[in-house]
Structure formats: structure tokens, C-alpha cells
Amino acid sequence: MIRRVLVFGLLGVVLILLAFVQDQDIPDIALWRRLYASDDSRQWPTPHLDDDVKTNFVDIGSLPDVEYPLDNPFSKEKSALGKLLFFDPRLSATKQLACASCHDPQLGWGDGKSLANGHNRRVGKRNAMTLYNVGYYHTFFWDGRSPSLEAQVLFPLTDSVEMNTAPEVAVRHIQAIAGYRPLFKSAFGDSTISISRIQQAIATFERGIRSYNSKFDRFIKGNKDAMTDDEVWGLHLFRTKARCINCHNTPLFSDNQFHNDGQTLYGTRQQDFGHYHISGKQEDIGAFRTPSLREITLTGPWMHHGNFPTLLDVVQLYNLGNPEPIQRSVTIDPKTKPIHSAKLKKLNLTNEEINAVLKFLGAISSSTQQRIAMPKLPE
């Protein structure tokens, strides 16, 4: 009798323990390592997706080749010319600011500052975006106000707090440099220098700015040892409990859509309604284009306002469900009250899990800034 009680008691304890273990989501790193590094994403564990994300969902993975538009196909000559123009401060009115002044390859193709400063050191409204993988986006800028990379070139050129230059002035400056003429000839067939050719050349160069093969890329191609246990755990959390995959999906780690991430900074001097200014739709108040997370450790400070100095701050924000803080003293206009995306919920990640997600962000980034040789500009 006593033996039977003992046996059943023990069984009960084991069952309770098992249930507890299940509930705690004990990581099964060995299993995940096998599935994710199988070089077959059909074997990956099912991601935790919201219903509206399931249609047309494309998982994270290796980046395909970038596509060039039919009306501006790739050529080596055009790309090389675009690179020179990108680094050339003579494109600006003062001849002191180049695209590269704010998009420095050694600062993750950004400027390392919270907010960019341009013409006469005037401070802009937003964080300078990285140009890593810029050719994979469908719209450009944090708020999506430019429909193509070619069109995008005119914005910083003419922006009064960026390069502050009329297109004719930029064209005149470049026409005055004899060394550019043969380069336009080999890129476009004749030596005419026009603003649309400048736009086409710069856009062609930008499409070639790619992130580097990461530990993650090697891992999912079958190199089972390319990622550490924490990184594998972080990858799994990213696609499941931490819910990042609902927006940071596709091989770019961006769905190319706009979401309110709780960053409107309502009622402050930095208030920014983002995509609402383009679409005019109330649901777009405070919505910004999902940024890629490739090379993310190199491109801080983060978010459209650059107010996040560490990635730990960012992940902790998501863990809290991205509350949209509004100061009590601010009167809220019901027509413009920002509402954060319904995809953002409290995540209940433990400190170990937060750390794993951070480690995974490291595994989709290069470990050091890449150096690219500054081109010698034509005279």
C-alpha cells in the first residue's frame, strides 16, 4: 500500500515537473540548430504570425540579387560614376556637403548621430538612414515619401537643411569639372551632363550597397557551427515568442510596410506623424517604414529619431509592448491621437531571452565596420 502511494506520488511529481518544463519554454537548441541549419527552410519551426501577416508571408533568409529597373539597368560605368558623384561635395551649393557626409560607409552608411546635420550645420528632423541594402525597398525615407531611388536623389539635394542646392546649380558644378565628361560618355553614350543622369548614376551605385554575408547566412546554408547557442535561441525567439517576424520578415528583415512602433513622441518638439503626412490616413499617424535589421549593430543610434543609444533599450521597449508615452500636460486631439500597431504586445521575455535576441541581432551584422576606399574625385 505504502509502495503504491509512493509510486503514484512520484509519478505525480514527475508529471507536474514535465508540465512546468513545457510551460517554461525550455530551449531545445540542439533541435533548432538541426532544423534551422538544414538548408531547407520548410523544416523550420512554424513562426508565430498574426492572421493578416500569413497571406503573402515571406520568411527571413538569404538575400537574392538586387533588381535594377528596366529604365535604369546596371552598368559598371554608371555605377562607378554614381560612386564619384556620391562622394563629391561639389554637388552641393557650398561645395562642402556630399551624400557621403551623412552616409559614411565607415559609420554604417549613416552618420552616427541621432539627427543629421547638413547645410550650415542645421540640424534635421530625422536620423540619417543607413544605405545598406537600400535597393530592396519599395519606397524610400522613414515615411516612404519617395517612390524610387532615382527620385530620392533630388530630396537631399534640394532640402534646405541638407544640401540646399537647386538641381541646375548641381548640374552646373559638375559640368564645370572636365574630368566628368568622359565618365558620362562611357556611362550614357554621350557626354551630356543632366540632372536625370546624375540621379540614375547615383541610384545605380546605391543599389550595389549590400550587407555582408553574416553568421546567420552561413548557418541557414548548412554551416551548423556558424552560430552560438544563444544566437540560435535568439533566432527562434525572433520568429516565435518575441514576434519580431511579424514586421521584420523577408530576407531583408523588413516587410516594406509602415507601422506605428510607439515612436510618435506626441506633443513634444520632436513629434513626427511619419507616413500620415504622405497617406493622410489616421491609422498611419506615427507609422514609419519597417527598417531592415541586417548590419543593425553598425547603424546606431536607432529609430527614426535616433533616440535609442543601445539595442538593449530597443528590445526592452518591445518587451514592454511599445507603450506610446504621452505626457499628462499635453492635450490630445482625438483626430491625431497616435495608436501603436496591434502587433505590439507585452512579450514577457526573461533577461536571458532578451540577451539571446540581442545576440541574434549581432549574428545578422558584421563584426566590424567595413572600410571602402574613398574614390579619387575627377578634376
Q: How far apart are CA 248 and CA 191, in angstroms?
A: 43
- CB nearer to ligand HEC: give 93 or 224: 93
Residue 224, C-beta contacts closer than 8 angstroms, at least 6 positions apart: 33, 34, 37
Half-sphere exposure (Cβ direction) of 249: Cα atoms closer than 13 Å: 20
- CB nearer to ligand HEC: give 173 or 304: 304
Residue 75: CB minimum distance to ligand HEC, A: 18
Residue 9: CB minimum distance to ligand HEC, A: 42
Residue 114: CB minimum distance to ligand HEC, A: 10
Q: How far apart are CA 114 and CA 187, in angstroms?
A: 36
Cβ atoms 296, 361 nearer than 8 A: yes
Q: How far apart are CA 297 and CA 176, in angstroms?
A: 40
Residue 222: CB minimum distance to ligand HEC, A: 25
Residue 264: CB minimum distance to ligand HEC, A: 8
The residue with cell 507603450 is 323
| Number of other CB atoms surrounding residue 283 within 10 Å | 13
- CB nearer to ligand HEC: give 224 or 343: 343
Cβ atoms 295, 132 nearer than 8 A: yes
Binding-site ranges for ligand HEC (CB under 6 A): 97, 99, 101-103, 116, 118, 124, 126, 128-129, 131, 134, 137, 140-143, 149, 152-153, 156-157, 162-163, 202, 206, 242-244, 246-248, 259, 261, 263, 288, 290-291, 293, 296, 299, 302-304, 311, 314-315, 318, 341, 343-344, 357
- CB nearer to ligand HEC: give 100 or 220: 100
Nearest to 59 by CA among 342, 288, 252: 252
The residue with cell 538548408 is 39
- CB nearer to ligand HEC: give 38 or 158: 158
Residue 26: CB minimum distance to ligand HEC, A: 20
- CB nearer to ligand HEC: give 38 or 377: 377
